[in-house]
Structure 1
Amino acid sequence: MPLSAVISSSLNPRFRSALALREGRERRRAGRILIDGQREIERALEAGVRPVEAFVDPDRLSESWLEAQAEHLGRDGVELVMVSPRLLGRLSYGDRDTGLVLVAEPPTRTLDELTLPDVPLIGVVEGVEKPGNLGAILRTADGAGLSALLVADAATDLFNPNVIRASLGTVFTVPLAVGTAHAVLAWLRDRSIRIVSARVDAAREHTETDLTGQVAIVLGSEARGLSTVWSGPDVTDVRVPMLGVADSLNVSATAAILFYEALRQRRAVGAPGGRSVR
């Protein structure tokens, strides 16, 4: 494949534009994100994410994985921008060393654009602030086969590099939509989806609650828990039992317990999981 001249100066405008995407404010302004890491890149491309350009270390193009990705991207008309290893390292998050960083448009979906199965299992997170927690919840949602994850009153950038990394790229594969807490609640009610909220002071334990059928499991922020929006006669509060001195688990741990309890119950009665039951 024809190669462009290698960019080696950090003052190069193209490199500087890409580097700026390490910051959330610039990602929002430009409507672009950075994707690196072998699994993350593969999952993004398999999910239909469209790169607008690809930064490549030309010294590593003989490596089989990078060569295959570069050929695939080139066939799709994505421009390959050659940069020195030093500059590529500045674009990468952490210690990533795959020789490739993509600039892409973030996949976005409104609530009304979601397509659900007949008996959906939905996760809802309200105001979760830490990217690592959101990424871990996405990874669990993928593993438990949830139909969708809804982010209410988003408090962190969904495509923060740490979200992408902690999710192992499942941020691109789990059906995802964002809205205000009021909008998400109204959307669930309009579809007659039962709402189960995780609260430390709930009277009922999570194993005592029916999580089969159309269900949304709602979790709150790390510091404040759920807002009063998620209160009402049609909302079932549950708690994970805590037998020590701490009154709650990390939100991602709570999500794992509740999502997999829902999967266990649904399998036990032969009901659908979320997307599928393996």
Structure 2
Amino acid sequence: MKTISSSQNTYIKELVQLKDKSRKRRKTGTFLIEGKREISLAIKGNYELETILFYPELFSEKQLNNLTNQQINIIKISKETYQKLAYRDTTEGVLAVAKSKTNSLNNLTFKNKNPLILIAEAPEKPGNIGAILRTADAANVDAVIIANPKTDLYNPNVIRSSIGCLFTNQIATGNTTEIIAFLKSKNIKIYCAALQASVNYHSQDFKNSTAIVVGTEATGLSKEWLENATQNIIIPMQGEIDSMNVSVAAGILIFEAKRQRNFK
């Protein structure tokens, strides 16, 4: 087992870049995972791990052995080195370097005859993306698709805010045009959350193959989505504002679909 005690080590410097720079993540096809639960979920989600780094005063070798039995490069690191790599204030002493997935639409597979898909167009804030992924996991949707992504899916704050649900969902990314074409090729109905030409969401039948599409709070969905919708839907507001947080809206709509499907 290798030991690295200096935060100035060349490999550690590369991992810091991996944590901080999306360009580095794209170039190497790898990213950094922090925390026992998150690493466990990545393993369960069939992500390939390259290296595990641990600080033994926080995470023991016994815990390490219980985490995985895969043949992975293991590095013991010092407190200084760990603090250089750790993203969270409250932490568990273990990190992993994992290989990214392609997240291609062509890789999506649906076990259910009538899949339920959650689509978010151009979400920018990592916290919102993480919350959307948590909602998707809670509802056990068939897939999450991010249209025109503005934030790297493997941003450490996405992983943190999703509490590892990045790894438990089947996820794809693409531009709006190709996603709409994909949905139509699969005969999946498109329900867009929008203010214009909309009907109350609970009036619609979501039991067939369904994609629920949400946009940003600031600009909503693009014209292309609205023009290709099976139906625009709205959550009636009873206060002074006309919109809510995108992850909250997604949760309301997705769980209405699950209610109609008897949570199967």
TM-score by length of 1: 0.89
Question: 1:53 deviation in Å?
Answer: 1.1
Residue 155 of structure 1, aligned match among 131, 150, 157: 150
Query: Does the CA contact (< 8 Å) of 1:44 and 1:169 recur in 2?
Result: yes
- Match of residue 52 from structure 2: 54
2:220 is aligned with 1:225:
yes
Q: 2:18 maps to which residue?
A: 21
Residue equivalent to 2:63: 65
Deviation readout 1:232-263 (Å, 9 max, x if unpaired): 36520011111111110010010000010110
Please say if 1:77 is aligned against 2:71.
yes
SS across alignment from 1:172: coil
% identical aligned pairs: 38
Aligned partner of 1:102: which letter?
Answer: A
**1:37–1:96 Cα contact (<8 Å) kept:** no
Select 1:188's aligned residue among 173, 183, 189: 183
- 1:91 is aligned to 2:51: no
Alpha-carbon distance between aligned partners in 2 of 1:248 and 1:199, rounded to the nearest angstrom: 9
Report if aligned partners of 1:89, 1:96 keep a CA contact under 8 Å in 2.
no
Shift of 1:183: 0.3
Q: How many residues align?
A: 262
Which residue of the partner structure matches residue 8 of structure 1? 5
Distance 1:52-1:212 versus aligned 2 partners, 3 A rule: same
Distance in 2, matches of 1:129 and 1:139, equals 16
Compare the two structures and name the one with the higher strand fraction: 2
1:136 is the counterpart of 2:131: yes
Structure-1 separation of matches of 2:90 and 2:173: 29
Q: Secondary structure at the match of 1:204?
A: strand
Matches within 5 A, 1:177-256: 177-232=172-227, 234-256=229-251
Going from structure 1 to structure 2, the CA distance change for 1:110 and 1:170 (only over 3 Å counts) comes to same
| Structure 2 unaligned blocks of 5 or more | none
1:43 to 41, 44, 62: 41
1:11 and 1:62 mapped to 2: Cα distance? 24
What is the TM-score of this pair, normalised by structure 2? 0.94
1:113 matches 2:107: yes
Deviation per residue, 1:61-91 (Å, 9 max, x gap): 546433422xx3xx52211112102211221
Shift of 1:221: 2.1
Q: CA deviation at 1:203?
A: 3.2
Q: Structure 2 counterpart of 1:221, which letter?
A: T
How large is the RMSD of aligned CA atoms in angstroms? Answer: 1.6
